Structure 1
Amino acid sequence: MAGVKRQRGEIMKLPSGSLRVRVYEGVDPLTGKRHYLTETIPAGRNAEREAEKVRTRFLNQVDEKRSPRTRATLNQLLDRWLEVVDIEPTTRMGYENKLNKHVRPVLGKLPVGRLDPETLESFYATLRRCRDRCGGKAYVRHRIDGEHTCTAKCRPHVCKPLSASSVRQIHWILSGVLSRAVRWRWIAVNPAGQAEPPAPPHPDPQPPNPADAARIINEAWRDPDWGSLVWLAMTTGARRGELCALRWHHLDLAAGVLTLRHSSYLDADGALREKDTKTHQQRRVAPDAETIEVLRELHGRYVDRLAQLDVEADPTDYVFSPEPDNSRGYRPDTITQRYGRLATRLDINSHIHALRHYSATELINAGVDVRTVAGRLGHGGGGTTTLRVYAAWLSESDQRAAGTLAARMPPRPVAPTQRTLASSPYQRIAAELREQITAGRLRPGDPFPAVVELASAHRVSVGTAHRAVALLTAEGLVSVIRGRRATVAHPHL
Structure 2
Amino acid sequence: MWEIRVVVGTHPLTGRSKQRSFTVHGDEAYAAQRQAELVADHGVRRVCVDRGDRLTVEQLLDRFEAAPHRWSPTTLRSYGGVIRDLRRDRLARCWLDRLTPAVLEVALARWATAGATPSTLSGRFHVLHSALTWGVCERLLGSDPLAGMRSPPRPYPRKHLPPPQVRQLFAVAERRRLEAAARLLERPASRQRSLDLFHAEQDELLVRLAADSGARRGELAALRVDDLDGRVLSIERAAKDAVIGPTKTHSRGRLTLGATTARFWHDHVAAWRDHPLAGDAIGPWLFAASPDRQSPIRPAGLGHRFERLRNAAGLPDAMLHRLRHTVGTHLVSQGKILKAAARLRHRDPSTTLRNYADALPLDDEDAADDLDVLFNGLTDTV
Q: TM-score, normalised by structure 1?
A: 0.54
Question: Percent of pairs identical after alignment?
Answer: 27
Listed as ranges, the gaps of 5+ residues in structure 1 are: 1-24, 26-64, 131-159, 267-271, 407-466, 468-493
Correspondence 1:385 to 2:313: no
Correspondence 1:237 to 2:214: yes
Separation in 2, partners of 1:300, 1:261: 23
State the secondary structure of the residue aligned to 1:235: helix
Alignment correspondent of 2:337: 370
State the secondary structure of the residue aligned to 1:323: coil
Separation in 2, partners of 1:71, 1:378: 41
State the secondary structure of the residue aligned to 1:285: strand
1:262 to 237, 245, 262: 237
1:329 to 277, 296, 300: 296
Q: Is contact 2:278-2:290 (8 Å) kept? A: no
Q: Is contact 2:332-2:356 (8 Å) kept? A: no
Instruction: Give 1:187 deviation, angstroms.
Output: 5.1
Alignment correspondent of 2:112: 128
Alignment correspondent of 1:73: 56
2:96 to 78, 87, 112: 112
Larger RCO: 1 or 2 (CA < 8 Å, sep 6+): 2
Alignment of 1:57-456 (within 5 A): 71-88=54-71, 89-130=73-114, 160-163=115-118, 165-182=119-136, 188-193=142-147, 195-201=149-155, 203-221=156-174, 222=176, 223-253=200-230, 256-266=231-241, 272-305=242-275, 307-314=276-283, 317-345=284-312, 346-365=314-333, 367=334, 369-381=336-348, 383-390=349-356, 393=359
Q: Is contact 2:281-2:292 (8 Å) kept? A: no
- Give the number of aligned pairs: 299
Instruction: Give 1:295 deviation, angstroms.
Output: 0.9
Alignment correspondent of 1:453: none
Larger Rg over CA atoms:
1
Q: Is contact 1:204-1:392 (8 Å) kept? A: no
Q: Is contact 1:118-1:195 (8 Å) kept? A: no
Separation in 2, partners of 1:162, 1:327: 40
Alignment correspondent of 1:425: none
Instruction: Give 1:195 deviation, angstroms.
Output: 4.3
Separation in 1, partners of 2:267, 2:278: 19
In structure 2, do the counterparts of structure 1 residues 295 and 401 end up closer, same or farther at CA, with 3 Å as the change threshold? Answer: farther
In structure 2, do the counterparts of structure 1 residues 373 and 182 end up closer, same or farther at CA, with 3 Å as the change threshold? Answer: closer
State the secondary structure of the residue aligned to 1:191: coil
Q: Is contact 1:171-1:192 (8 Å) kept? A: no
Separation in 1, partners of 2:167, 2:52: 63
Separation in 2, partners of 1:363, 1:117: 38
State the secondary structure of the residue aligned to 1:274: strand
Deviation by residue 1:389-409 (Cα, 9 ceiling, x = unmatched): 247649xx77x998xx99xxx
In structure 2, do the counterparts of structure 1 residues 252 and 368 end up closer, same or farther at CA, with 3 Å as the change threshold? Answer: farther
Separation in 2, partners of 1:344, 1:194: 47
Instruction: Give 1:263 deviation, angstroms.
Output: 0.7
Q: TM-score, normalised by structure 2?
A: 0.68
Q: Is contact 2:108-2:121 (8 Å) kept? A: yes
Instruction: Give 1:370 deviation, angstroms.
Output: 2.4
Separation in 1, partners of 2:88, 2:147: 20
Separation in 1, partners of 2:81, 2:232: 38
Deviation by residue 1:432-473 (Cα, 9 ceiling, x = unmatched): xxxxxxxxxxxxxxxxxxxxxxxxxxxxxxxxxxx8xxxxxx
Whichever structure has more helix as a proportion of its residues is 2
State the secondary structure of the residue aligned to 1:192: coil
Separation in 2, partners of 1:377, 1:183: 30
Q: Is contact 1:248-1:319 (8 Å) kept? A: yes
Instruction: Give 1:216 deviation, angstroms.
Output: 1.2
Q: Is contact 2:279-2:292 (8 Å) kept? A: no
Instruction: Give 1:98 deviation, angstroms.
Output: 0.8
Q: Is contact 1:167-1:197 (8 Å) kept? A: no
RMSD: 3.4
Q: Which amino acid aligns with 2:98?
A: R
In structure 2, do the counterparts of structure 1 residues 218 and 125 end up closer, same or farther at CA, with 3 Å as the change threshold? Answer: same
Q: Is contact 1:121-1:197 (8 Å) kept? A: no
